[in-house]
Amino acid sequence: MKSYKADMHLHTVLSPCGSLEMSPGNIVREAVARGLDMIAVTDHNSTLQCRSVQRVAEDQGLSVLCGVEVNTREEVHCLAYFQWPDQLGEFDRLLYERLADIPNEPERFGYQVVVDEHEQIMDQPRKLLISAVDMSIEEVEQKVHELGGLFVPAHIDRMRNGIIAQLGFVPPGLRCDALEVSRHSSRQELLGQHPYLEGYAFLRGSDAHFPKDVGAGYTEFHLEALTWHEIRMAMHGLNQRKMEVR
């Protein structure tokens, strides 16, 4: 079994709150410099920046997992990861359709730009991406799974948009592939406060909005190879695959 370091949660220039320094090139450079084997691109309610980060990383020995950080109707932030571009695209279209129709005001909220590998601006989504989508957390979970993706409530220890703050506790019927604990808490601390979380798998990402924070929190995967199926097995604790919060 080999060990792989993966930052499972980070933002790019596409997130209005993400620094304009978070270009695909800068993110990949930081990730490689910090010895990460994989990063997951998880902008707010949009997956449009994933592919160009993936293309930049291709010849750098860095894997890129395409994902998104959904803000559900209950204002709970949830990470979703997808294996295939088609499913990613379908989910992206659904999110944008259900996203509240509030236009972004760049001077107030920040720029939302999709850039290519050469940092050319390709698109600027009109709607404010940090708003909530009109889908319950259960609907989001079901759709992610229907598309073969992985569903992980984000930074569950945080007061702002964490599932425990928003909903009081993790709903028993919600099929979470893992829970994310932020770098401001730990699995032990969470289990101390919420013993019912014992059976869940935990992972971590940096939630970086600035280049200096890339890799500031990460997940160490123990896998035979860095593939989608191996990652899935680690989340589900199958065949000795596992993950640890770092």
Would you say how long the chain is, in residues?
Answer: 246
Is residue 167 at the binding interface for another protein, with CB under 8 A as the rule? Answer: yes
Binding residues among 85-144 for another protein as defined by CB under 8 A:
136-138
- Measured from the CB atom, the residue of 103 and 173 that comes closer to another protein is 173
Q: How far is the CB of 81 from another protein (least distance, A)?
A: 24
Is residue 27 at the binding interface for another protein, with CB under 8 A as the rule? Answer: no
DSSP string, 42-108: -BBTB-TTHHHHHHHHGGGT-EEEEEEEEE-TT--EEEEEESSHHHHHHHHHHHHHHB---B--HHH
- The number of CA neighbours under 13 Å toward the Cβ of 62 is 27
Binding residues among 29-68 for another protein as defined by CB under 8 A:
none
Q: Among 35, 61, 103, 168, which residue sits at the site for another protein (rule: CB under 8 A)? A: 168
- Measured from the CB atom, the residue of 13 and 164 that comes closer to another protein is 164
Residue 119 φ/ψ region, left for φ over 0, alpha for ψ in the -120 to 50 degree band, beta for the rest: left
Q: Is 46 exposed, middle or buried (0-12, 13-18, 19+ CB in 10 A)?
A: buried
Rounded CA gap, 175 and 144, in Å? 10
Q: How far is the CB of 164 from another protein (least distance, A)?
A: 6
Answer whether 151's CB lies under 8 Å from 176's CB.
yes
- Measured from the CB atom, the residue of 50 and 156 that comes closer to another protein is 156
- Measured from the CB atom, the residue of 74 and 116 that comes closer to another protein is 74
Q: Which amino acid is at 85?
A: P
Is residue 169 at the binding interface for another protein, with CB under 8 A as the rule? Answer: yes
- Measured from the CB atom, the residue of 124 and 193 that comes closer to another protein is 193
Map tokens 């924070």 to a residue.
Answer: 213
- Measured from the CB atom, the residue of 103 and 172 that comes closer to another protein is 172
Q: Among 25, 89, 171, 211, which residue sits at the site for another protein (rule: CB under 8 A)? A: 171
Residues that bind another protein (CB under 8 A): 74, 136-138, 164-169, 171, 173
